[in-house]
Chain A
């Protein structure tokens, strides 16, 4: 894969390479954050100095279906020793799927000093770089986040209903079987927590992982991404786009790609996603 700066991204500085991370392991202004789908990965070994942010334990409200609020975010940042000047660098498993999810939640609180390590855990491991089981402890910081801003990069069901009615672009990033509704109707299998299968009418099907190179988890070049999202799917950088999946985790990866790598101006992640839509009464569904 070519160097990040040569791939034509709209905001190349949002990505850092594994080499860059290796050179900054002892930089006190950098906090590495590992965020995985598989919670056993971090304790099995992680990049030296990295802390773990778990989307269930750390990023979600423990009672309501929602993300943590300002107070919770302040506590989390204090716990992992981050100030507003700290550059946080996310990485994780599954082509950085959960890393971009954590990145997205951090942007709800406007923590701008945030980057993603291209290739994530997979690339770091493939390169034979050091992993450790030592869990670091950092002095607690004082962090005063703004109130969570749900207006810019997050979409709610009523907004999606209007968006769909206005024929604005929606991107369904789930697997083709989920998009078609086939998967939730397979005999002998539970309904994956939803009562209806299919997709939001008009939504384009672009499985999230198409944006990544499967061999090393790096992001595809801007030209390759444009070929998928712009030429193939007809999306335009000035479009008002909403991405969704099952609970908003995979779609945060697509949100990241469209926003930072292709420079789309207005992309929102519908985190209610199919587990809300597929259980809602009377909403339009297409199969």
Chain B
């Protein structure tokens, strides 16, 4: 895990020591910090291009190019009960925004299971992986364009 963005690695290390209920508490705290994409980035109805097709929680992802060549990631989650999607959005926004693009592009989907546990349902896992795909794809596109 040495190549992971530091905040993401730190969270995974913390969760590795947590039991099931502690893990839930930590992730709920992340979800509580969720806020919708800023209007300067996007307003409803959101474009289909930003829609995570595999996410039952109706998630949308945007990548904003920053002056230093990195990206800031923004999210919308249209299901008010989509706590896992919201928490994952906050985790990615806080741990991947501003990080080197190579680092972002190489975040493996395994981290989702490190964070949410191995008993993640297939549908939920696919949705969270879809959100990560949007982020890593945006970083790869930016790298290719550079």
Contacts and interface: CB of A to CB of B under 8 A. Distances in A.
Contacts of B123: 37, 246, 249
A41 B53 contact: no
B56 A40 contact: no
A192 B55 CA distance: 12
Interface string A37-49: 1111101100000
Given A56-B121, A186-B53, A189-B53, A38 B24 contact: no
B81 A121 contact: yes
A40 B31 contact: yes
A139 to B, nearest CB: 21
A38 B81 CA distance: 8
A189 B67 CA distance: 30
B137 A188 contact: yes
B81 A41 contact: yes
Contacts of A44: 24, 28, 31, 83
A247 B28 contact: no
A40 B53 contact: no
Contacts of B24: 39-40, 43-44
Interface in B1-50: 21, 24-25, 27-28, 31
A122 B24 CA distance: 20
A146 interface: no
A94 interface: yes
A190 interface: yes
B-side interface mostly: helix
B133 interface: yes
Contacts of A93: 81
Interface residues of B, number: 27
Contacts of A193: 122
B97 interface: no
Contacts of A37: 56, 121, 123-124
A54 B84 CA distance: 15
Interface in A40-68: 40-41, 43-44, 54-57
A266 interface: no
B53 A38 contact: no
Interface string B55-91: 0110000000000000000000000111110010000
B124 A43 contact: no
Contact of B119 (A40, A56, A125): A56
Contact of B82 (A38, A43, A125, A246): A38
Contacts of A275: 122
A183 B119 contact: no
A54 B56 CA distance: 18
B84 to A, nearest CB: 5
A189 B133 contact: yes
Contacts of B28: 40, 43-44
Interface string A167-199: 000000000010000010010111011000000
A177 B48 CA distance: 15
Nearest to B57: A38
Given A40-B84, A40-B87, A192-B54, 15 more contacts: A37-B121, A37-B124, A38-B81, A38-B124, A39-B119, A39-B124, A40-B83, A41-B81, A43-B25, A44-B31, A94-B56, A122-B81, A189-B53, A190-B126, A247-B122
- Nearest 10 A/B pairs, CB to CB: A40-B83, A43-B24, A56-B119, A44-B28, A93-B81, A38-B84, A38-B83, A40-B84, A40-B27, A40-B28
8 contacts: A38-B57, A38-B84, A41-B83, A44-B24, A44-B28, A55-B121, A177-B53, A190-B126
Interface of A: 37-41, 43-44, 54-57, 93-94, 121-122, 125, 177, 183, 186, 188-190, 192-193, 246-247, 249, 275
Interface of B: 21, 24-25, 27-28, 31, 53-54, 56-57, 80-84, 87, 119-124, 126, 129-130, 133, 137
